[in-house]
Amino acid sequence: MLRQPKLTKHLLFILACSCFLSCNNKDKNGVTTYLGGQIINPKMDYVLLSHEDKRLDTIALNTSGAFDFQCENLQTNLYIIKHGELQYIFIEPGDSIMFRLNTVGFDESLAFSGRGAEKNNFLMNLFLQNEEEDKRLKELYKLNPTAFEKEIAHTKKRLLTDLDEFIISEKPSEAFIHIALANINYNYYSRKELYLSSKKRANNNNKIKYPENFFTYRDSLDLNDNTLKNYYTYHQFINRYLDNLAYQGHTKKEPTFNKISYWHQTQKLRLIESLITNKQLHDNLLHNTVKRYLVHADDSQKEHDLVALFKNLDHNEAHQKEVERYAYNTSKINAGELIPNLALITVNNVITSLQKINDSKTVFFFWDTKSVKHYKEIHVRISDLKTKYPEYAFVGINTGTDFSAWNQTVISSGYNQANEYQLKNSTAAKNALFINSANKAMIVDKGGIILEGNSNLFNQNFESLLLGYLNKK
C-alpha cells in the first residue's frame, strides 16, 4: 500500500486516463471488471474505493482480510484503494486484478496477479527504477551538465527499451502506452529541472554553461494534456518547471532561489494563469501552490495578499473555502505565536497538555501506528538528531485514536516513554497544529513560543534550523 504523495518517494505510481470512472452509468460494452485482494495485518475492516476526490464505495474485508469488487460499467481510468495508505491501480474494462500486501512493509510485499496485472507490474517496476535513480541525484548534481545529461539519458534509454519490449509482448492499449511513456519522459525532464534548481540554490548558476540541447524538451511541452491532468509525475514536472520560470521573473526582487517565498509564489501563480488553459489542471495547480505557501508563511499581510490574488484567479468555490481554512489554521502556528495548549495523553494514561511538557527548546514530531514503516523511519531520524543536538527535547506525538495500539508500540519498540504522547482529541488537534504532513516538525522555544511551525524532519536544511536557534540569543 502506498503513501500519499508528499507527496513522496513512496508513491509507486499514479496513473490517469481521460475517461471518468463511474459505477452509476452503464458501460457501452457492459463488460464486467473485477478488483480484489487481501490485506495482511489489516488496520481496519474495510477498504475505500475512489477516483480522484470522489469516493465510490466502501468495501468490507472478510475475516481473512480479503475483499472483492465488481463493476459492469468501469471505464479506463484510475482506481484508488485506501486502507490507511493509498494504492493506485490502472484498470481497463474487463480486467480482473488481484493484489496482496502486508501493511507491515507494504512496499516490499505488494504483488499483482490476474488479467491486467502485467500493466500494473510494469508501471510499478518503472517507479522502482525511477526511485533508485532519484537516490543518485544528490551525487549527480555535482557533475557538470554534459556528464549529468549522459547519466540520466542512459536511464531513460533503458526504460524506453523496456517499454518497447513490453509493447511487443503484451500489446497494451494506447491509453496505457501514453501513461507509461509520460512516466519515463516527465521523470527525465524533472531531473533536468531539479538540476537547474540545485545550481540556483547553490548560487552558482551564472558560472555554468549548459549545452545547447540541454533544455530543448521545453520547446515541445504540452502543459495542458487532458489525459495527464491528474497524473502525479506530470504535476510534479510542471511544478518544477514553473518554479524555474518563476525565479527567472523575479531575480531582481529576490536574488536567492527560494521556492516558498512570497515573491516566488506570486510569480508562479501568474505563470499558471497565463500558461495553463486546462481548467481542472489550472485550478489544481493554483490551489496547491497557494497552500504550499501558506504552510511555510509567517507574514500575515503577505498571506492575505497572496490569498487575494489566488481568489482572483481560481473561482472554484471548494478551493477558495479550503484555502481560507488553510490561511486561518496556519496563522495560528506562525513564528512568534504561542503553541496551542492541546490536551495530551501519556503512556500511563494521564492527561497533560502541550504547554506543560515544553520546559526547554523542543522539537515536536508526529506519527501514527497505522504507518509502520514511517514511524520506524522517523524514530531512527529522531535518534540521530538527539545525539547531534542534546540541547533539544524531542517529543513524539501520536495522531491516531487507538490508545492501546499506540501504547503497545511505544513499549515494544523501546521508545522513550517520557517523551511520547497521544493527542486526546486528534481531529481538533490536527487542525490546530496544522498537521498536513507525516514528516511535519515544530520547533518551539522554552516559553512555548513557536520558532518554526511547519518544518520537515527530513528536509536538508532542518539541522541548519536547529543550529540557528541554538545560536540565536
Sign of CA dihedral 243, 248, 250, 255: positive
DSSP 2: B
User: Which residue bears the cell 481560481?
Assistant: 314
Position 10 pLDDT exceeds 50: no
Position 24 pLDDT exceeds 60: no
Among the three residues 331, 358, 388, which one is the final residue of a domain in this structure?
331
Alpha-carbon distance 81 to 177, whole Å? 23
Give strand pairing partners of 452. Answer: 443
**Domain identity same for 311 and 363:** no
**Domain identity same for 354 and 320:** no
Alpha-carbon distance 245 to 271, whole Å? 8
- Contacts of residues 115-118 at CB distance under 8 Å and 24 or more positions apart, as own/partner, are 116/90, 116/91, 116/92, 118/166, 118/170
Q: Which helix (H) or strand (E) holds 78?
A: strand 77-83
pLDDT at 49 (0 to 100)? 79
pLDDT at 281 (0 to 100)? 93
pLDDT tens-digit readout, 405-440: 999 999 999 999 999 999 999 888 888 888 877 899
Residue 181 lies in a domain: no
C-alpha cell at 75: 471505464
Residue 347 lies in a domain: yes
Average pLDDT over residues 175-180: 93
Cβ–Cβ under 8 Å, residues 43 and 370: yes
Of 80-89, 114-123, 219-228, 392-401, the range with the lowest mean pLDDT is: 80-89
Give strand pairing partners of 202. Answer: none
Cβ–Cβ under 8 Å, residues 10 and 86: no
Cβ–Cβ under 8 Å, residues 176 and 119: yes
Domain count, the chain: 2
pLDDT at 227 (0 to 100)? 84
* pLDDT band for position 203 (cuts 50, 70, 90): confident
Distances (CA, A) of 68 to 47, 71, 92, 364: 10, 10, 16, 40
**Domain identity same for 448 and 386:** yes
Position 155 pLDDT exceeds 80: yes
Among the three residues 302, 331, 360, which one is the final residue of a domain in this structure?
331
pLDDT at 1 (0 to 100)? 36
Q: Calculate the average pLDDT of the chain.
A: 86
The whole domain housing 312 covers: 249-331
Position 161 pLDDT exceeds 90: yes
Average pLDDT over residues 362-385: 92
**Domain identity same for 357 and 442:** yes
pLDDT at 108 (0 to 100)? 60
Residue 376 lies in a domain: yes
pLDDT: is 315 or 105 the higher one? 315
**Domain identity same for 353 and 467:** yes
Position 22 pLDDT exceeds 50: no
pLDDT at 19 (0 to 100)? 35
Position 35 pLDDT exceeds 50: yes
Residue 118 lies in a domain: no
Provide Rg for the chain, Cα atoms.
Answer: 23
Q: Which residues of 111-138 are buried (b: 16+ CB within 10 A; e: fewer)?
A: ebebebbebbbbbbebbebbeebeeebe
- What are the two backbone dihedrals, phi and then psi, of residue 196, each rounded to the nearest 5 degrees? -60, -45
